[in-house]
Structure 1
């Protein structure tokens, strides 16, 4: 695996690389622990060049307000009728009643019984019976 040089991570941090290269760097960072360490060192070296927050409490409050607003919007989303649990149970109940009343389950059990009867019907003595007869026949002699 080829690792990415620290200078390229510096360009990545400063957004001085193409979008295509940015995606490849990000995918490489997800897969390589050694490159994460190099990336962290590049971040530390460029920390003085990165912009500082003048009012971090306001920044935090703004972010938290946006998060809570998006959660409220998700909770207020109207649930469509076909997404309700009641509808799903009603459909399952209706299908069960239809299948039971039409005799589908009875037909299936009859089919299984027929298969078992043809499979287990013996035309002669079983292997076990034959062995027992041979053993006792040899003892009698």
Structure 2
């Protein structure tokens, strides 16, 4: 499981000091990018070679609000992987409390929009998912 720290700043909140709902998607996206980079996958090199990651599906549950100055941890854990699809569990945690949880399905496409197999570094994590 991968962990990614996030501190909530003023610009990420609404007038009530609560995190604006769309920012949770930004947080989990940053955590996924950090996780993929930690696997040794260079997304700039992938794009230069004509392949990119895209989110195919997100199932999200908002459980409790995060607030200004909260120090959160976003966890990323693979649930399943095939040659063409990766499903992740991502959680936004404040201490032991899960504030937000998402099941995210990632696929690869060419820069022309055609399906492409996942990189080998991601396909091999399926043995450990």
What's the TM-score, normalizing by structure 2?
Answer: 0.18
Larger RCO, structure (CA 8 Å, separation 6 or more):
2
Higher CA-based Rg: 1
